[in-house]
Amino acid sequence: MSIILATHLKDQLERHVRTRTGRRIRNLAIEMDLERVILRGQASSYYVKQMAQQSIRDFLPHLLLENSIIVEKGLELAVLQD
């Protein structure tokens, strides 16, 4: 995978996750290599974490996915104030 293609795909994935989750993932980071995608950030609920994961599955259904998003209760108010 070329660097330009990988960067474009990563940008698309980030936009899709942000849109699908209503921008409710704080400090979203997506890491990619040829074998897997790693999601990082903080969410206020397991539901939002699952929505982020499903967003990646929409684009890359057969790639290994590691969802390392941390769920922190009380984060919702902080996200809304940003």
The class (CATH top level) of 3-81 is alpha beta
pTM reported for the whole predicted model: 0.83
Distances (CA, A) of 52 to 3, 12, 32, 42, 80: 24, 13, 15, 11, 18
Ranges of each domain in the chain: 3-81
* pLDDT one-digit tens code per residue, 22-39: 999 999 999 998 889 999
Question: How many percent of the chain have pLDDT more than 70?
Answer: 88
pLDDT at res. 12: 94
